[in-house]
Amino acid sequence: MFILFVLTRTLLFSAGNVEQKHKDTNVIQSNLKINAFLDTSMLQINEGRIEFQNEFEKLTGIELVIIQPPHQQYMEKLLIQLASGNLPDICEVYASYLPQLVSDKVIIPLDEYIKKSRYMNSIYPYFIDAVKYKDGHIYGIQSRAGGGCITYIRKDWLDNLGLTMPKTWNEFVHILRAFTFDDPDGNGKNDTFGYTEPLGVDCSDWDWYNRTIMLDTRIDIYFKNGKWVDGFQEPGMRDALKRYRNLYEEGVIDKDLFTNTTSTARSKLYSNQVGIFAYWANHWARNLWDRAKNKLGDQAEVVPMSRILGQNYIRRIAPLLVITVESKNPDMVFTNFIDNQYDKGKIQTLFTYGVKGYHWDFDADGTFHFLINPNDSQKNLFMKAYVPPMSVQNDWVQSIQVDPVAKPAIDLFNKYSKQDPLKVGGVYYVNYYSEITNSLKPDIFARIVLGEYTIDEGLALYKKTAEKLHIDDIIAELNK
């Protein structure tokens, strides 16, 4: 069993110390309830969610009722719930939907609660600045530090071929070719390729996954040099498309690039089909490492690939916790479900690690470790409760040793990532942005890479179609 974090009782989780230092964290109240509508980032029923809710009530005196739809249907179900008039007290909202909820006046500003909060000042300012609305208000607090993707590589394949980590584009292409044509797994068959991405139907924003070949180019509308621009019409897009198309035609990247789901793309990495893969820079570094070893043996090593010169990563805004206009006691909801998550004590411990004795515990020598999920047939360890330990937003000094497998991924991402700010458009944004981003751009991009259009033809068609869909008006709204 891998011990994810190491600490002693006397440093952080000593029951006596925590109780004494944080005994006034919450005022125990009775007959209070918080109805929360949350995504699958919260523990599932089979991950100890009931135990989490019971512990929350024990610590606060407040009953926590959680509605948790399937992840792929989350926003659809939430919008239906909000439209029904039966609003929860608090819900988790993807940042792109915030303007709609503000316009519909179903959520409240949180400024007054932030000003009088006990713990909000411990959050690093850039996490708050990124979610300021154009009217100056803050309507949601990020549920965790926003993440992003880096590139992972089969280090054992590098070692098998006597290669080292790429640092430049040319070195990267050389490795793609070697992973495709030089039998990196040593099975004597021509059955591998260099690179894959999950760009299929369950991937709503390609910019998270394509950071390797795109380098510093973006597909989406993004904030550049103080203004919003359409990445698809930026000068670098032509070169990015050329890189993709050349690699695709050469056969060194996955032919299923545009149909891959996140699951199928991941599985190719730890089933000896592909050697390089872009994915999330968090606990997934550990997941990929473990799953490759479980599937292929101890010789398999999936590690973060070094940054290629000119490459950058994107830190997205995490889902936001917002309070609805129907909450009868928004002060209580904010204090107990949002603010107290940053108490550096009992509540932050619960939201980060879960329940002692169910999600984590101490060994006889006082060493902290996550426990095996009793409902998991694969006997996987718990990794988090609601907030991943490596995604806390405040200055809580966790007296822990960070997972040595995940730490290089986190460090790499933190060093080279750029924080995306909140997009707040108007009527054109609401009506046309999704079609441009989720339909037009992926379609044109794929057809260019697959050779159905030349780069010039594809970009010209995009420009013509996007203008009809008011791309210029969208950009103007964002830049107001």
pLDDT per position as a tens digit, 315-370: 999 999 999 999 999 999 999 999 999 999 999 999 999 999 999 998 888 888 89
Residue recorded with tokens 């070719």:
177
Q: What is the mean pLDDT of the chain?
A: 90
pLDDT at position 266 over 60: yes
Domain covering 9-145+317-393 assigned CATH 3.40.50.150 in the classification: no
What local confidence, expressed as pLDDT, does residue 271 receive? 92
- What pLDDT is stored for residue 200 in this prediction? 76
Q: How far apart are the first and last CA of the chain?
A: 54
- Helix ranges (DSSP H) in 84-182: 98-103, 111-115, 125-129, 155-160, 169-181
User: Residue 418 in 3-state DSSP?
Assistant: strand
Token pair listed for 380: 């996987």
The topology (CATH level 3) of 149-315+422-478 is D-Maltodextrin-Binding Protein; domain 2 (3.40.190)
Rounded Cα gap, residues 24 and 272, in angstroms: 54
pTM of the model: 0.81
Residue 378: predicted pLDDT: 83
Q: Is residue 5 scored above 70 in pLDDT?
A: no
pLDDT bin (cut points 50, 70, 90) of residue 22 is: very low
| pLDDT tens string 403-450 | 889 999 999 999 999 889 999 888 999 899 989 998 999 999 999 999
Please tell me the distance from the alpha carbon of residue 323 to that of residue 306, in angstroms, as a whole number: 41
Question: What's the CA gap between 369 and 400, in Å, rounded?
Answer: 10
| pLDDT band, very low/low/confident/very high, at 30 (cuts 50, 70, 90) | low
Q: 280: pLDDT confidence band, cut at 50, 70 and 90?
A: very high
The predicted structure's pLDDT at residue 203: 57
pLDDT at 40 over 50: yes
- The one-character DSSP state at 22 is T
Query: Using 50, 70 and 90 to split pLDDT, how confident is the model at 2?
Result: very low
Answer for the pair 154, 178: CB distance below 8 angstroms, yes or no. no
pLDDT tens digits along 376-392 = 988 888 989 999 888 99
395 SS3 class: coil
**Residue 370: both structure tokens together:** 């996550």
Three-class secondary structure of residue 440 per DSSP: helix
Amino acid sitting at position 48: G
The whole-angstrom separation of Cα 284 and Cα 304 is: 11
Tell me, yes or no, if the two domains 9-145+317-393 and 149-315+422-478 fold the same way: yes
- d(CA 306, CA 155) in angstroms, rounded, equals 11
Q: How many CA atoms lie within 13 A of 347 on its CB side?
A: 23
CA distance 288 to 278: 11
Domain ranges of the chain: 9-145+317-393, 149-315+422-478
Please choose, from the candidates 21, 88, 7, the residue with its C-alpha nearest in 3D space to the C-alpha of residue 366.
7
User: Side chain identity at 155, as an amino acid letter?
Assistant: K
- For residue 29, pLDDT beyond 60: no
Q: Which pLDDT score, from 0 to 100, does residue 21 have?
A: 36
Q: What is the DSSP letter of 458?
A: H
| The pair of three-digit structure tokens given for residue 250, joined into one six-digit string | 């050469």
Residue 12 has pLDDT above 60, yes or no: no
